[in-house]
């Protein structure tokens, strides 16, 4: 058997994508198990004054290796909380989360997260922000800069390398944060409404770019969005969450031919958007009722 290149060793411009895909498929056959296993997870936030909020309750979800899963649910149902738990930014206190069979013990380079609120270092420029994760990976300086520039170009921030976050629009900050996460080439991408601050046109471009990256490098993606059409377009499965405390209400399979240029206008696609939208709307109504009664 040949040597399987580590993802971190893959240099994008000299990539033999056919080989990468072959290796990826072989690995997939070899390890058919789920990559992320979320088992009966709950999470309670406790404030210093003793008020507690149960954000998640009994959440179970398996995400297969190289699968693209979208998380949809009403505001406040715990989507970000679930992503923080998988990312290792919050401790798992109820239930269990395993990645590649191992319990999570904090953040790691195998999981890249795009936070809902960008989380760029305000004192670093765009280039320095993107370089930050690469510096931690021990990659040679020239290769680091080359790779950082590649992803800055990819998200359309060429010319803004030396700008500080305060000098960027919301959408530009969001794109810088996406570039920073993609540049470290994690096996698992955790994305929390990554396109929420983008204008409609840039959003479409970024969706296409993300699909392209996912199809070529076969990452596992967990993608939080409020946009039902975006979820149906991007994901292979959609996990619809209940109102708070969030749990998985229903999982919908959404396997469409993404290469079909007429996909978003086709009847099966429109029906699927409608079906998922009805599920989400029902939970949003329950969430609003809960807020009114609180």
Ligand X SMILES: Nc1ncnc2c1ncn2[C@@H]1O[C@H](COP(=O)(O)OP(=O)(O)OP(=O)(O)O)[C@@H](O)[C@H]1O
Q: How far is the CB of 79 from ligand X (least distance, A)?
A: 4
Q: How far is the CB of 76 from ligand X (least distance, A)?
A: 4
| Residues 108-147 as x/- pattern, contact with ligand X by CB under 6 A | --------x-------------------------------
Q: How far is the CB of 131 from Mg ion (least distance, A)?
A: 27
- For residue 125, count other CB atoms closer than 10 A to its CB: 18
Residue 199 corresponds to which tokens in the numbers above? Answer: 């204008």
Instruction: Confirm or reject binding of residue 78 to ligand X (CB under 6 A).
Output: yes
| 162 CB-near residues (< 8 Å, 6+ apart) | 125, 126, 127
Stretch binding ligand X (CB under 6 A), from 16-24, 77-85, 206-214, 279-287: 77-85
* Cα–Cα distance, 238 to 255 (Å, whole number): 10
| 264 CB-near residues (< 8 Å, 6+ apart) | 229, 233
Instruction: Confirm or reject binding of residue 81 to ligand X (CB under 6 A).
Output: yes
Nearer residue to ligand X within complex by CB, 209 or 227: 227
Nearer residue to ligand X within complex by CB, 78 or 112: 78
Q: How far is the CB of 263 from Mg ion (least distance, A)?
A: 27
Instruction: Confirm or reject binding of residue 92 to ligand X (CB under 6 A).
Output: no
- For residue 51, count other CB atoms closer than 10 A to its CB: 8
- For residue 63, count other CB atoms closer than 10 A to its CB: 22
Instruction: Confirm or reject binding of residue 190 to ligand X (CB under 6 A).
Output: no
Q: How far is the CB of 143 from ligand X (least distance, A)?
A: 35
* Cα–Cα distance, 252 to 276 (Å, whole number): 8
**First-residue to last-residue Cα distance in the chain:** 61
- Are 246 and 215 contacting, i.e. CB atoms less than 8 angstroms apart? no
Nearer residue to ligand X within complex by CB, 54 or 252: 54
Stretch binding ligand X (CB under 6 A), from 72-80, 91-99, 228-236, 273-281: 72-80
The count of residues interacting with ligand X (CB under 6 A) is 13
Give whole-number Cα distances, 33 to 19, 37, 118, in Å: 22, 9, 32
Instruction: Confirm or reject binding of residue 247 to ligand X (CB under 6 A).
Output: no
Which spans of this chain sit near ligand X (rule: CB under 6 A)?
Answer: 45, 53, 55, 73, 75-81, 116, 244
């Amino acid at each position: 058997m040949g040597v399987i290149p580590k993802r971190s060793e893959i240099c994008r411009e000299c990539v033999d994508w056919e080989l990468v895909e072959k290796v990826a498929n072989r690995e997939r056959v070899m390890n058919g198990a789920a990559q992320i296993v979320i088992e009966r997870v709950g999470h309670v936030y406790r404030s210093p004054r003793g008020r507690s909020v149960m954000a998640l309750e009994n959440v179970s979800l398996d995400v297969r290796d190289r699968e693209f899963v979208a998380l949809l649910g009403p505001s406040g149902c715990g989507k970000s909380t679930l992503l923080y738990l998988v990312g290792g930014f919050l401790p798992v206190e109820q239930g269990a989360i395993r990645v590649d069979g191992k319990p999570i013990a904090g953040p790691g380079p195998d999981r890249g997260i795009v936070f809902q609120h960008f989380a760029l270092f305000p004192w670093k420029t765009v280039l320095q922000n993107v370089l930050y994760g690469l510096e931690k990976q021990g990659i040679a300086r020239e290769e680091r800069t080359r790779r950082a520039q590649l992803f800055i170009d990819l998200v359309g921030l060429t010319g803004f390398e030396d700008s500080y976050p305060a000098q960027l629009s919301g959408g530009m900050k969001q794109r810088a944060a996406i570039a920073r996460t993609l540049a470290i080439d994690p096996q698992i991408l955790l994305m929390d409404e990554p396109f929420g601050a983008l204008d409609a046109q840039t959003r479409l471009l970024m969706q296409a770019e993300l699909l392209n990256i996912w199809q070529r490098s076969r990452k596992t993606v967990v993608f939080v969005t409020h946009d039902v059409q975006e979820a149906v377009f991007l994901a292979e499965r959609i996990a619809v969450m209940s109102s708070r405390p969030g749990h998985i209400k229903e999982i919908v399979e959404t396997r469409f031919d993404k290469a079909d240029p007429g996909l978003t206008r086709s009847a099966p696609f429109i029906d699927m958007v409608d079906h998922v939208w009805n599920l989400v709307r029902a939970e949003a109504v329950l969430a609003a009722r809960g807020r009114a009664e609180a």
